[in-house]
Amino acid sequence: MTALTWISANQEMIYIVILMIFLGIEVIGRVPSVLHTPLMSGANAIHGVVIIGAIIVMGKAEHDNYLALSLGFLAVILGTLNVVGGFVVTDRMLEMFKKKKK
Amino acid sequence: MTALTWISANQEMIYIVILMIFLGIEVIGRVPSVLHTPLMSGANAIHGVVIIGAIIVMGKAEHDNYLALSLGFLAVILGTLNVVGGFVVTDRMLEMFKKKKK
Amino acid sequence: MEFSILTLCYLVGSVTFIIGLKMLSDPANARKGNLIAAAGMTIAIAGTIFLYESDGEKLHNYGWIFGGLIIGGIIGTLAAKKVQMTAMPEMVSLFNGMGGACAALISIIEFDHIANNPVVVNPGHVLIIFAGLVIGSVSFAGSIVAWGKLNGKFGDFAFSGQHIVNIIILLVVVASSAYVVYNSDVELNESFLYGILALSLLYGVFFVLPIGGADMPVVISLLNSFTGVAAACGGFLYENKVMLTGGILVGAAGTLLTILMCRAMNRSLKNVLIGSFGASGSSKGAAGGKDQGQYKEVSLSDAAVVMSYASKVMIVPGYGLAVAQAQHVCHELEKMLAEKGVDVKYAIHPVAGRMPGHMNVLLAEADVSYDKLLEMEQANDEFPSTDVVLVLGANDVVNPAAKTDTSSPIYGMPILDVELAKMVIVNKRSMKPGYAGIENELFFRPKTSMLFGDAKKVLQDLVAEIKNL
Amino acid sequence: MEFSILTLCYLVGSVTFIIGLKMLSDPANARKGNLIAAAGMTIAIAGTIFLYESDGEKLHNYGWIFGGLIIGGIIGTLAAKKVQMTAMPEMVSLFNGMGGACAALISIIEFDHIANNPVVVNPGHVLIIFAGLVIGSVSFAGSIVAWGKLNGKFGDFAFSGQHIVNIIILLVVVASSAYVVYNSDVELNESFLYGILALSLLYGVFFVLPIGGADMPVVISLLNSFTGVAAACGGFLYENKVMLTGGILVGAAGTLLTILMCRAMNRSLKNVLIGSFGASGSSKGAAGGKDQGQYKEVSLSDAAVVMSYASKVMIVPGYGLAVAQAQHVCHELEKMLAEKGVDVKYAIHPVAGRMPGHMNVLLAEADVSYDKLLEMEQANDEFPSTDVVLVLGANDVVNPAAKTDTSSPIYGMPILDVELAKMVIVNKRSMKPGYAGIENELFFRPKTSMLFGDAKKVLQDLVAEIKNL
Ligand SMILES: NC(=O)c1ccc[n+]([C@@H]2O[C@H](COP(=O)([O-])OP(=O)(O)OC[C@H]3O[C@@H](n4cnc5c(N)ncnc54)[C@H](OP(=O)(O)O)[C@@H]3O)[C@@H](O)[C@H]2O)c1
Ligand SMILES: NC(=O)c1ccc[n+]([C@@H]2O[C@H](COP(=O)([O-])OP(=O)(O)OC[C@H]3O[C@@H](n4cnc5c(N)ncnc54)[C@H](OP(=O)(O)O)[C@@H]3O)[C@@H](O)[C@H]2O)c1
């Protein structure tokens, strides 16, 4: 019962999640195997969006909450690594593919 | 400005609409041309979901509102035609394709 | 609680629509996909009837609702079961129109409701009501016209400046809707509603009337996606997710499908929708431009002999076969030749006929087995080893101008290379051009012989001849 | 107002992620797709920093935030720019681990926050926090182990019953999380948090450790989708749509990609994840089972002569070439042969090496031109007209057992049919099997000659020989 009311309270979110799952599957359905690694790397960069959570946590931390400040700071660094490193490394891989085409 | 607040007030709906558009395009991206007609017919049946609106309108009409009752009744009939006729005719078309395969 | 179950029903409905449409685009699963979507629809409808609540109140008027469902269900089933295979596009168009009308009626009732219950009116609400009304009625009127054209009930109709008129009508509709929406807290006058309704219907008619009958499948697909959007408006109105998702899904998929259909004919959507006006003139000019020389005829009995003693015959069906309803006798000819040891196959061009898959559906109706049907690429590979090609009421799909004549309206369309075979017999009633309105050089080529007459009659005679051999 | 703009930023972000991922799966647009997604990410991050509000309050601690962004940005860019092409999978794994750790840290801070601010606690909230914690830390620990294995820092490690232990750890994690969630209105003890964190990390390590190094790309892809789900948990927590959609998108796409990668190796995911345990024993048995007879060797100078005077040579690169870092000298050999008028091409098997596209990336690094690379089907079409095939550190991808031996673990995998060529020269260091751990009959076939030695060394010697011819 609670599960059902939860469903109807969060129906939009549930719709978004389900549609996103379908989209994720559809969108890469036809990827040729040479692109598996760059695609994996690009997807890796996209989930770096978790950095936004780290920024929010960090930006809401009180000035005397050292646990939150230090862990949040670490989270921001790690999240940035994921995003920046992810996109740059993907671009490097794909640059290789590009160069060969010409 | 009002457009922006409207966007943030309805963001879930907007997300759903946008994701659905992507999905609609992705899902039929690779349809072979023999299936164009059955696919059109199947899609036609699906938009018959508008019947739900007709049922709601009809079911909420007051007993003495003859305009609503009569138009609503007509809407229910037309919507049902769309749904039932749509699915049945699609099935008939596809049955033809099926039979041939064996 | 019940409302939560309804939410779940709608969720299931939306998911089945997506899965169903996905499966519909894959030959092996198409039929199952249609049934899955139908099951989801049933769940969503049943859920609405029994579980829907608005302000804590359930629906009433069950008698009316079930009455409507039963009447619509029976008529719909009968119509869909009775319709001839070749008349299916008409039927789809008609059903599509019903959906559009349904959306428009909902908007009328809702408008009436808020006009007579002067509570606080939300302009967004009014906007959606008008959107549903306009799109629904354009779709309805357009579909009916498309139905009539495919049926042969309406001919083409265009007057000069019709584009301008169409654009003006559209602008008036948009402007007056905007006016009403903007002033919706002041006045909600029903006369506006009916004015907009009338103009929308008119626009639907004018939009479709000038377009050639053969382009109707594309137009129907476009109107199909319109109705999807109209249904989605209903979804916004009632914050109903299954209407919203189903409508948008069809709106998006239908738009893409329309484009894909145009692409299969090697034309642009714009060309289909407005190109129809000037095009006929110029293509006629092109047709008369070249002097094609002489063509050869072949007698029925000669044709019968040639085919009976061939080792491989390829039949190229086209629109004429469908018009003549000659699919059954064609199958008979095929069986008779097969009995004589001839290897008979069909070469199916993707846009032969007047709707995608037309030939497949047509030949399936006559029980032609699936493995005898070759797609264009396969067929082109097999022509060099073919003795006789029998072209039955096809024209544009075997026109070599598509490969050679850059000025031809069909230039670039892939065609069936029948000339690779040893001999080509073409059956049609005259030397008149086909759908694209252009001459076909093939008919004048040395390998080609013409066999004039209605496809059904000619095939019956051929069958009789072969029997007597 | 500002918050509305932020909503729009997030919407743009979500859309770019979808479009970016779509383009990433299409060779012609992949690079642009990556940049589009990066642009969307930048918009979403900048929007968050400047426009985010919670309870009407803006973010603070800007110094910390920008500090973290700058430090992370610089390290990330440098690491990504410096890393060698062949070490890219390791790098991706490391970045993935960072994302997982970030998600876990967020959960720790949020848990701490609600544990110390006894307001009304929503069990759903706690559930999401734990989900983020567990999934994020499994992904972090697993990615670090995967990184270490690809690096050669960690070897395989498994003890009997490890599966059972893994399952027990998982159950304990789930059960204690459920306990805390269920009792979240009574007690929120931090010791639970750290216990669950520790167990999750342990599970991540145990999950990845026993899996063979060559399967790491598959594992990384799986962990990648885990991190996606962890990010989506953050999206639920802050009702943040861009985190939610981005996370779920990667979660779903990553899962499918994992399956596609397995399929390209003709294996199931289950087989990759737990098959590694018993498999080595049985395949060793199979390898020793058959007596393969004798193999032939060819001397360096003979090989040099044969190739120089061939008119067409096909190079089949494999994992050994990557290990030996011999791509540059390989390109040199190719150029030298080309100067002598030999037509040299590369036959690229889709799963040659240890990551998809490994050979393409490797050879691209050595500036081999793209049109010299043939895909498997093309290559198989060209082998019959090839004089010499030079197999460089490849083994499984040319093993005919995949076609003939139904009991072979690679049965059914499409292979490069090198035997269609006139002669095959195989370079490897010994007769040891490759990745799949099975003997290769090709080495014993009459057309095949072995050329033992480290690929780089052998190629250098070949180049020297050919120079002196
Ligand atoms: N498939 C689709 O989805 C679709 C949709 C819209 C448009 N189109 C277009 O339609 C065309 C299809 O090409 P097509 O080769 O199938 O047809 P076509 O080019 O239209 O030619 C049909 C031919 O059949 C002949 N014919 C008509 N009635 C006949 C009868 N009773 N018995 C014997 N012959 C008869 C006509 O010549 P006579 O008058 O001399 O007998 C005509 O030349 C293409 O141009 C395509 O782009 C296709
Ligand atoms: N591409 C992917 O995505 C991926 C991912 C995971 C697994 N796999 C699997 O990896 C395998 C790939 O096949 P493959 O043919 O490329 O490789 P392989 O079957 O693993 O064989 C590589 C061969 O290279 C030789 N070698 C090693 N170091 C060398 C050196 N320094 N110089 C010369 N030779 C050396 C080894 O023999 P010696 O020891 O005798 O020298 C070995 O037999 C397939 O089984 C595939 O399923 C692929």
Note the pLDDT of residue D123. Answer: 79
Predicted TM-score (pTM) of the model is 0.82
* In the predicted structure, residue C3 carries a pLDDT above the cut 80: no
Note the pLDDT of residue C286. Answer: 40
pLDDT band for position D143 (50/70/90)? very high
Please indicate, yes or no, if residue C462 is contained in any of the structural domains: yes
- D219 alpha carbon, closest ligand: 2
The answer on B74 and B24 residing in a single domain is no
Interface test with B, best of A11, A12, A13, A17 (most B CBs within 10 A): A12
The answer on B68 and B94 residing in a single domain is yes
The answer on A39 and A20 residing in a single domain is no
What span, in angstroms and rounded, lies between the C-alpha atoms of C367 and C50?
Answer: 44
* In the predicted structure, residue D281 carries a pLDDT above the cut 60: no
Exposure letters C252-277 (e unless 16+ CB within 10 A, then b): bbbbbbbbbbbebbebebeebbebbe
Q: What percentage of chain A exceeds 70 in pLDDT?
A: 91
Please indicate, yes or no, if residue D57 is contained in any of the structural domains: no
The residues near D186 (Cβ < 8 Å, ≥ 6 apart) are: none
D396 is catalytic: yes
Q: Per-residue pLDDT tens for C44-74?
A: 999 999 999 888 888 989 999 999 999 999 9
Note the pLDDT of residue D284. Answer: 38
Q: Per-residue pLDDT tens for D227-252?
A: 999 999 999 999 999 999 999 999 99
- D396 alpha carbon, closest ligand: 2
The answer on D126 and D158 residing in a single domain is yes
Tokens representing residue C249 in the block:
């899904």
The answer on B45 and B84 residing in a single domain is yes
Note the pLDDT of residue B27. Answer: 92
The answer on A16 and A54 residing in a single domain is no
Higher pLDDT, residue D389 or D164: D389
Cβ atoms D141, D149 nearer than 8 A: no
Please indicate, yes or no, if residue D344 is contained in any of the structural domains: yes
* In the predicted structure, residue B99 carries a pLDDT above the cut 60: no
Note the pLDDT of residue D289. Answer: 43
Note the pLDDT of residue C432. Answer: 87
What span, in angstroms and rounded, lies between the C-alpha atoms of C221 and C262?
Answer: 10
pLDDT band for position A32 (50/70/90)? confident
What sign for the dihedral angle of Cα C53, C58, C64, C69? positive
SS3 D54: strand
* B102 Cα to chain C: minimum distance (Å): 7
Nearest to D303 by CA among D99, D462, D88: D462
Note the pLDDT of residue C264. Answer: 75
Q: What are the helix and strand counts (H, E) for chain A?
A: 6, 0
User: For atom 43 of ligand 2, which residue has the closest CA?
Assistant: D434
Chains A vs B: touching, with 3+ CB pairs under 8 Å?
Answer: yes
The answer on D343 and D260 residing in a single domain is no
* Catalytic one of C291, C396, C417, C454: C396
What span, in angstroms and rounded, lies between the C-alpha atoms of C273 and C350?
Answer: 21
The answer on D252 and D343 residing in a single domain is no
User: C370 touching B, CB under 8 A?
Assistant: yes
Cβ atoms D236, D182 nearer than 8 A: no
Cβ atoms C214, C410 nearer than 8 A: no
* D22 Cα to chain B: minimum distance (Å): 10
The answer on A71 and A52 residing in a single domain is yes
* In the predicted structure, residue C185 carries a pLDDT above the cut 70: no
User: D245 touching A, CB under 8 A?
Assistant: yes
Provide mean pLDDT across the span D51-76.
Answer: 92
Note the pLDDT of residue B98. Answer: 58
Note the pLDDT of residue C275. Answer: 56
Lowest mean pLDDT among D118-132, D167-181, D315-329, D423-437: D118-132
Q: In Å, what is the CA distance from A74 to each residue of A77, C83, D104, D109, D113?
A: 5, 69, 11, 11, 17
The answer on C335 and C388 residing in a single domain is yes
The answer on B72 and B97 residing in a single domain is yes
pLDDT band for position B52 (50/70/90)? very high
Note the pLDDT of residue D97. Answer: 97
What span, in angstroms and rounded, lies between the C-alpha atoms of D413 and D351?
Answer: 10
Note the pLDDT of residue D253. Answer: 96
* In the predicted structure, residue D405 carries a pLDDT above the cut 60: yes
Choosing from C429, C450, C451 the residue with most ligand 1 atoms within 8 A of its CB, the one to mutate for a pocket test is: C429
The answer on C136 and C99 residing in a single domain is yes
**Contacting partners of chain D (3+ CB pairs under 8 A):** A, B
pLDDT band for position D138 (50/70/90)? very high
User: B20 touching A, CB under 8 A?
Assistant: yes
* In the predicted structure, residue C288 carries a pLDDT above the cut 50: no
Q: What percentage of chain D exceeds 90 in pLDDT?
A: 57
**Contacting partners of chain C (3+ CB pairs under 8 A):** A, B
Please state the atom number of ligand 1 nearest to the C-alpha of residue C396. 19
* In the predicted structure, residue D39 carries a pLDDT above the cut 90: yes
Please indicate, yes or no, if residue D365 is contained in any of the structural domains: yes
Lowest mean pLDDT among B56-70, C331-345, C427-441, D259-273: D259-273
Note the pLDDT of residue C292. Answer: 60
* In the predicted structure, residue D130 carries a pLDDT above the cut 90: yes
Are D85 and A96 in contact (CB < 8 Å)?
yes
Count of structural domains within chain A: 2
Please indicate, yes or no, if residue C394 is contained in any of the structural domains: yes
Provide mean pLDDT across the span D14-41.
Answer: 94
Cβ atoms A46, D95 nearer than 8 A: no
Q: Per-residue pLDDT tens for D158-183?
A: 777 788 888 999 999 999 988 888 87
pLDDT band for position C280 (50/70/90)? very low
User: Given C4, C22, C245, which is nearest A8 (Cβ)?
Assistant: C4
Cβ atoms D243, D232 nearer than 8 A: yes
What span, in angstroms and rounded, lies between the C-alpha atoms of C300 and C458?
Answer: 8
CATH number at residue C424: 3.40.50.1220
The strand pair at C57-58 and C53-54 is best described as: antiparallel
The answer on B5 and B43 residing in a single domain is no
C320 lines ligand 1 (CB under 6 A): yes
Q: What is the dihedral angle through the alpha carbons of A13, A14, A17, A19, rounded to the nearest 10 degrees?
A: -110
Last residue of a domain, one of D250, D281, D312: D281
Please indicate, yes or no, if residue C291 is contained in any of the structural domains: no
Choosing from D150, D267, D283, D319 the residue with most ligand 2 atoms within 8 A of its CB, the one to mutate for a pocket test is: D319
The tally of CA atoms less than 13 A away on the side-chain side of residue C144 is 15
Higher pLDDT, residue C369 or C315: C315
Are A23 and B26 in contact (CB < 8 Å)?
yes
The answer on B42 and B72 residing in a single domain is yes
Domain extent, residue C321, equals: 300-467
Cα distance from N-terminal residue to C-terminal residue, chain D: 78
How many CB atoms are located within 10 Å of the residue D176 CB? 16
Domain extent, residue B2, equals: 1-30
Note the pLDDT of residue C402. Answer: 84
Count of structural domains within chain D: 2
Last residue of a domain, one of C281, C314, C329: C281
Note the pLDDT of residue D185. Answer: 66
The answer on D463 and D346 residing in a single domain is yes
The rounded mean pLDDT for chain B is: 88
What sign for the dihedral angle of Cα C247, C253, C256, C258? negative
- The DSSP result for chain B, as a single string, is -HHHHHHHHTHHHHHHHHHHHHHHHHHTTT--GGGHHHHHHHHHHHGGGGHHHHHHHHHH--TT-HHHHHHHHHHHHHHHIIIIIHHHHHHHHHHHHHHHH-
Q: Per-residue pLDDT tens for C354-374?
A: 777 788 878 888 888 888 999
What span, in angstroms and rounded, lies between the C-alpha atoms of C427 and C197?
Answer: 48
The answer on D155 and D203 residing in a single domain is yes
Amino acid at position C68, single letter: G
Provide mean pLDDT across the span A6-35.
Answer: 88
Cβ atoms C390, C425 nearer than 8 A: yes
* In the predicted structure, residue C282 carries a pLDDT above the cut 80: no
Q: In Å, what is the CA distance from A2 to each residue of A7, C2, D123, D381?
A: 8, 12, 12, 62
* In the predicted structure, residue C350 carries a pLDDT above the cut 70: yes
Last residue of a domain, one of C247, C281, C315: C281
3-state DSSP of chain C: CHHHHHHHHHHHHHHHHHHHHHHHCCCCCHHHHHHHHHHHHHHHHHHHHHHCEECCEECCCHHHHHHHHHHHHHHHHHHHHHCCHHHHHHHHHHHHHHHHHHHHHHHHHHHHHHHHCCCCCCHHHHHHHHHHHHHHHHHHHHHHHHHHHHHCCCCCCCCCCHHHHHHHHHHHHHHHHHHHHHCCCCCCCHHHHHHHHHHHHHHHHHHHCCCCHHHHHHHHHHHHHHHHHHHHHHHHHCCCHHHHHHHHHHHHHHHHHHHHHHHHCCCCHHHHHHCHHHHHHHHHHHHHHCCCCCCCECCHHHHHHHHHCCCEEEEEECHHHHHCCCHHHHHHHHHHHHHCCCEEEEEECCCCCCCCCHHHHHHHHCCCCHHHEEEHHHHHHHHHHCCEEEEECCCHHHCCHHHHCCCCCCCCCCCCCHHHCCEEEEEECCCCCCCCCCCCHHHHCCCEEEEECCHHHHHHHHHHHHHHC
* A23 Cα to chain B: minimum distance (Å): 6
Tokens representing residue C194 in the block:
């009916």
Please indicate, yes or no, if residue D121 is contained in any of the structural domains: yes
Provide mean pLDDT across the span D393-415.
Answer: 84
Report H helices in D209-275: 216-237, 241-264, 269-274
The answer on B55 and B13 residing in a single domain is no
* A9 Cα to chain B: minimum distance (Å): 13
pLDDT band for position C285 (50/70/90)? very low
Note the pLDDT of residue C269. Answer: 85
Tokens representing residue D354 in the block:
């240890």
User: A24 touching B, CB under 8 A?
Assistant: no
What span, in angstroms and rounded, lies between the C-alpha atoms of D204 and D95?
Answer: 16
Note the pLDDT of residue D105. Answer: 97
User: For atom 3 of ligand 1, which residue has the closest CA?
Assistant: C355
Q: How far is the CA of C317 from the centre of ligand 1 (A)?
A: 9
Provide mean pLDDT across the span C340-364.
Answer: 86
- Among chain B residues, the shortest Cα distance to A29 is held by B26
Q: Per-residue pLDDT tens for C233-243?
A: 999 999 999 99
pLDDT band for position C281 (50/70/90)? very low
Partners of D293 in the β-ladder: none
* In the predicted structure, residue D88 carries a pLDDT above the cut 50: yes
The answer on A61 and A40 residing in a single domain is yes
How many CB atoms are located within 10 Å of the residue D330 CB? 26
Please state the atom number of ligand 2 nearest to the C-alpha of residue D398. 15
Lowest mean pLDDT among A52-61, C99-108, C169-178, D207-216: D207-216
The answer on A54 and A95 residing in a single domain is yes
The answer on D327 and D271 residing in a single domain is no
Please indicate, yes or no, if residue D290 is contained in any of the structural domains: no
Note the pLDDT of residue C304. Answer: 92
